[in-house]
Amino acid sequence: MPPVFKALASITAWAMWIGAWLLLVIPLIMGIITGTLYGPGPVPMVYPVFFAVALAYAVLAVVVMRLRQKME
């Protein structure tokens, strides 16, 4: 396999991994700052959706990295 494909797979995996962390941390911080995450009212559905998308990004990043390892 040409090295360009391994490089693209690495870039994709790292981009997805960083995106997963950002999708996890930014809504968590904003929810704590605004008080909607730990407030007395019900939690808005946007937070579980962000956490689910972050989990999906993290899983896909691991899958891409495993595929990159199998390219060798």
pLDDT tens by residue, 13-45 = 999 999 999 999 999 999 999 999 888 889 899
Length of the chain: 72
Q: What is this structure's pTM?
A: 0.82
- Please give the tally of structural domains in the chain: 1
What average pLDDT does range 1-24 have in this prediction? 92
What mean pLDDT value characterizes the chain? 92
Look at residue 1 in the predicted model and tell me its pLDDT. 72
Q: Which domain range does residue 10 map to? A: 3-70
Look at residue 39 in the predicted model and tell me its pLDDT. 85
